[in-house]
Amino acid sequence: MNRLASEASPYLRQHAANPVDWYPWGEEARARARTDDRPLLVSIGYSSCHWCHVMAHESFEDPSTAAVMNRLFVNVKVDREERPDVDAVYMDAVQALTGQGGWPLTVFCDPDGRPFYGGTYFPPAATGGRPGFVEVLQAVADAWRDRRGDLEASTARLMEVLDRDPLRSAAATGDASAPGADPTAALLDRAVADAARRFDPRGGFSDAPKVPAPMLCDLLLHHHVHHPSEATLAMVTTTLDAMAAGGIHDQLGGGFHRYSVDAHWIVPHFEKMLSDQALLAATYLHAHLVTGEERHRRVVETTLDYVLGDLRHPAGGFLTARDADSEGAEGRYYVWDLDEIEDVAGADAAETVAYYGATANGNFVDPHHGLRGNVLRVVDRDAPPPAAVERARAALLARRATRVAPGLDDKVLAGWNALTLRTLAEAGAALGRDDWTDAARRAARFLLANLRRDDGRWLRSWHPSAGARHLAVSADYGALLEAFVTLAETDDVAWLEEADRVARELIRLFHDPDGGGFWTAGRDAERLVADAKDVQDGATPSGTSLAASGLLRLAALTGEHDVAAPAVDALRRLTPLVDRYPGAFPYALGALEWVVYEPVEVALVGPPGPGLDALRAEVAGRLLPATVWCRGPGTPTIPLLEGRGPIGGAPAAYVCERFSCRVPTTDPAELSRQLDAAVSARRRPPAG
């Protein structure tokens, strides 16, 4: 009996018709394993994961493979996007066993859930150095029956690794940057130097496969603002321009695919994830604010238009992802034959084919599904699209809409929605797009209405068929805090009330007062076999990075410095790891700016109207690292706004540090000079 049909998760429901006797994560599966004395097989993935689909088609849909699974194991299916706490424990275990991780994640555990063996994707038959899945199943079952003591020893070794607190481990490294000491600006310099060593002149910070690095690009932009460097800026613009021109960027519909399988950003894995759109749109926005380049602004617009057009729930929240596959093949929805391009483009075909680099042979081939064609890319990344290409783009998009679309993961995740609404709020203020600001407001209200319980506890996932489920984790709380602080800056200072509630609960539920940092799961969550502490930034910022940044921003804006203490402590403890492996902690390095630099505070006060709008545009239209701002007067009253009012009846700006302000001004040009001076005061010769 497969028990997944009634689950809310689209990923779990994708497996509801499998012949595998799946259980959802829970005590029922563990009890069955104890009763039958069988190990657990825990399979973890997510709906838009291409290799998850591959393993499902090859193994989980195969009756003979399913029969082996059902006879030898109690099989548990987990959606990692619903249960990142479960995923974190078993990902750590597989990385400890194999040195690598990824999805699908396949973990074998004792009936209590303690892991002893695992891996990622297993093919149906041995190939390329990977054992076949049935071969693995049989070997594990034989060991469970005949060599139980060996497996128990493996479990004990893994549990030692899983019980190791990464921040306590950092304290034991003996690095020169010892925890407990305040990090310095030299740490940021070293991180930039590390990025320069890893930079690929083609764009990006690795060879194939190439994964976008929006958080690292943001860090480099911040460093460039503080210490102008053409070389630093070129790393960002080269990367962003290469991605924007590549096949990883949907040239017709906007938005970005997950990553590129090649070194030139041409052929992607085709899933589109909400979190990627949020982080990349923010980075392109920041690049536009620094460079003034319209090409970066266009990417912000097309990416957010994609999110609002394809991933927005009618009530205001945002859906999770578009799958990579349609009609059983990855990329079928996005790939084009040359003949079809020429047919659709008509008289504009020659210019369109040349602009997108389409050929008869194409640049994409999937021999398993007989699929060959062109992933559209821009050949000359510096060339704006001519009118003929714009006409053809609209026609191609309309033709593509007649194809079978990839599946939609229609759950709403609190943290990813928070990342998205923060970008919308920031971009709306910076680019004067009131519609984006309104979308951010609506999303925030949706989250408050649907993903927060009456007792104030935030939940992680909402689905139209089942409502909200699963306790939010520290990354959700950190992202929500960041989002509400941004809304307080860009929309209404009253959002600080929600920010403060999230901050207090974040500290109460997740902060570790003994070891520092923030646990992945809250004190009130299900007790797993190990407690994970989310410290390393991956495709999204870690819970510790988000919490630290949000708490420090809130403290700078409100003067409530008690909320800053856990953040400062976490960053101090994390510093040795950040210094050794800066590429793994780009968002944490951004949070460290709030410790390294004295935050700049900007108060804008006065009656609504063109005068206040001009001052607001001057602040919102710049990239200002480690800076907070708000408009007043408002409720609640905060120290930054107290005793500050218009000058001669005209709206005024106050540029402050520790709430001690420069001479207020009503002139946007003078405000610009004061902001320049505040940033320049942070400059010093870079560390050697």
Instruction: Give pLDDT, residue 683.
Output: 80
Other residues' Cβ atoms within 10 Å of the Cβ of residue 255: 24
Q: For a pLDDT cut of 90, what percent of the chain falls above it?
A: 91
pLDDT tens, residue by residue, 444-453? 999 999 999 9
With respect to residue 189, please indicate whether it lies within any of the assigned structural domains. Answer: no
The answer to whether residue 92 sits within a structural domain is yes
Q: Residue 109: helix, strand or coil by DSSP?
A: strand
Q: Has residue 250 been placed in a domain?
A: no
Cβ-contact 93, 158 below 8 angstroms:
yes
- At residue 686, the pLDDT reads 47
Given 164, 199, 227, which residue is the final one in a domain?
164
Residues of the domain holding 105: 10-164
* 119 inside domain: yes
Contacts of residues 24-28 at CB distance under 8 Å and 24 or more positions apart, as own/partner, are 24/76, 24/77, 24/78, 25/76, 25/77, 25/78, 25/83, 25/86
Say if residue 298's pLDDT is above 50: yes
Of 378, 402, 426, the last residue of a domain is 402
Q: What Å distances lie between residue 50 and 8, 25, 34, 317, 357, CA to CA?
A: 20, 22, 33, 25, 26
Average pLDDT estimate for 438-457: 98
Contact between 540 and 275 under an 8 Å Cβ cutoff? The reply is yes
| pLDDT for 688 | 43
**pLDDT higher than 90, residue 491:** yes
Q: Would you place residue 172 in the very low, low, confident or very high pLDDT band (cuts 50, 70, 90)?
A: low
For residue 521, being part of any structural domain is answered with: no
Segment 440-446 shows an average pLDDT of 98
* pLDDT grade for 170, boundaries at 50, 70 and 90: low
pLDDT category at 301 given cuts 50, 70, 90 is: very high
Q: How confident is the model at residue 177, as a pLDDT?
A: 44
| Total number of domains in the chain | 3
Percent of the chain with pLDDT over 70: 97
* pLDDT (0 to 100) of residue 1: 66
Domain containing 652 — which CATH number?
A: 3.40.30
Asked whether residue 630 is domain-assigned, the answer is yes
In the prediction, which pLDDT does 370 show?
Answer: 86
Q: What is the per-residue pLDDT for 129? A: 82
* Encoded tokens for 363: 């640049």
Single residue among 102, 129, 164 that ends a domain in this structure: 164
Q: Is the pLDDT of residue 176 over 50?
A: no
Q: What is the CATH number of the domain that holds 117?
A: 3.40.30.10
Say what the pLDDT of residue 685 is. 56
Quick one: residue 354, left, alpha or beta (phi over 0 = left, psi -120 to 50 = alpha)?
alpha
Q: Which helix (H) or strand (E) holds 140?
A: helix 133-146
The reply to whether 358 falls in a domain is yes
Q: Is residue 69 part of a domain?
A: yes
Residue 304 confidence (pLDDT) above 80: yes
Where do runs of H (alpha helix) occur along 200-229? Answer: 214-226
**61-93 confidence digits (pLDDT tens):** 999 999 999 999 999 999 999 999 999 999 999
